[in-house]
Amino acid sequence: MNKLRSIYKFFTAIEQSEGVGARVRRSIGTMKLRNFTPFLMLDHFSVAPPAGFPDHPHHGQETITYILSGMVAHEDFTGSKGVLYPGDLQFMTAGKGIVHSEIPVGLESGEPAVGLQLWVDLPSELKDCEPRYRDLRKGETPIAKPSESLQVRVISGESYGVSSLSELAYTPVSFYHFIASQKGTEFEQAFPENFNVFMYVLEGSVSVNDKEFPQYSTVFFNADGEGVKGVSVSDNAEFVLIGGEILEQPVVQYGPFVETTKERIIKVFDNYQSGTNGFERAPGWSSSISGGIVEGDVENFEKSS
């Protein structure tokens, strides 16, 4: 790797309330960084019943949800439903409109659901596409093992010669989960030049470009190099490196509605309020899990999908 990317900005994600009783550490989507094209939001969440994200709409974006521990049930107004287990991911394309619910499963252990949710902008020509879901199970993500102390879950893209199954988002995204078991473990990851790239530290501390970043740090890179290289400065360091194709378009956002002009946002809001143009199934719909779901009900819930 001849030229490494320089650091654009970095800060620590501060815990805050979100949804109904959930706790999140938000980095992208705050006053510190409103968006980082194509990325609109990154939440590191911890939710346990009765907290959750009950019935709510989306338009003009994709969401990527990565479950690190615990379980999350989801259901939408198209009839799609399912449960994400530890290590699973869901790629949801809202397109022209969807209303769904994301609720942590009440586990006998009392363990909360912990994970990452990333909001990704859609290119303007795809904002009115049909909604879709793709669940990616833990066993479907290959693992690269470049050294005894480093492994990389290749969720989307290629790392150390190991490629993911397929591209899972309309907007091209690369997504890697690095796990370094020992202090001093070196790592590197290439990205296309037309991608914006960031790192989020889940556990331990990592050094990049001779600067140390502790747990919950988010590091944003300039699009001025071939990739990122660094070293773990603690045992059991975990972090994600994520990149996405830069979209040369305005971002006009009203909560979970994302468009390119104010006029289009107003139209989408009207569609949602009137149940038209993608939101025909919204009026009167409510999910079966909005009141909660417990571990013993999961099997029947999944069978009913």
Q: What is the pLDDT of residues 70-96, one digit of tens each?
A: 999 999 999 889 999 999 999 999 999
The CATH number of the domain covering residues in 7-245: 2.60.120.10
Q: 74 labelled as ligand-binding?
A: no
Confidence of residue 51 (pLDDT cuts 50, 70, 90): confident
Confidence of residue 303 (pLDDT cuts 50, 70, 90): confident
Residues 6+ apart with CB under 8 A from 30: none
Q: What is the mean pLDDT of the chain?
A: 95
Q: Examine the pLDDT at 20 and tell me if it is beyond 80.
A: no
**pLDDT attached to residue 167:** 65
**pLDDT attached to residue 2:** 85
**pLDDT attached to residue 168:** 75
Residues 6+ apart with CB under 8 A from 93: 62, 122, 129, 131, 132, 133, 169, 170
Percent of the chain with pLDDT over 70: 99
**What b/e sequence results for 153-182 when a residue is b if at least 16 CB atoms lie within 10 Å of its CB, and e otherwise?**
bbbbbebbebebeeebbbbbbbbbbbbbee
Residue in 135, 142, 141, 140 with CA at minimum distance from that of residue 83: 135
Q: 212 labelled as ligand-binding?
A: no
Residue in 278, 231, 294 with CA at minimum distance from that of residue 98: 278
Query: Phi and psi for 264 in degrees, rounded to 5?
Result: -70, -35
Token digits for 166?
């397929």
The more confidently predicted of residues 164 and 21 is 164
Q: What is the mean pLDDT of residues 9-20?
A: 89
Report the distance separating Cα 7 and Cα 180, nearest Å. 21
**pLDDT attached to residue 22:** 81
Q: What is the separation of C-alpha 264 from the centre of its chain, rounded to a whole number of angstroms?
A: 25
Tell me if residue 271 falls in helix, strand or coil: helix
List pLDDT tens digits, range 114-135: 999 999 999 999 999 999 888 8
**pLDDT attached to residue 191:** 98
Confidence of residue 18 (pLDDT cuts 50, 70, 90): confident
**pLDDT attached to residue 21:** 73
What residue ranges do the domains of the chain occupy? 7-245
The Cα-based distances of 298 to 77, 84, 115, 290 in angstroms read: 19, 11, 19, 14
Using alpha carbons only, how large is the chain's radius of gyration in Å? Answer: 19
Q: 102 labelled as ligand-binding?
A: yes
**pLDDT attached to residue 214:** 98
List pLDDT tens digits, range 154-175: 999 999 999 998 767 889 999 9
List pLDDT tens digits, range 54-64: 999 999 999 99
Q: 193 labelled as ligand-binding?
A: no
Tell me if residue 90 falls in helix, strand or coil: strand
Confidence of residue 263 (pLDDT cuts 50, 70, 90): very high
The DSSP output letter for 137 is -
List pLDDT tens digits, range 192-229: 999 999 999 999 999 999 999 999 999 999 999 999 99
The more confidently predicted of residues 22 and 269 is 269
**pLDDT attached to residue 133:** 87
Look up the pTM and report it: 0.96
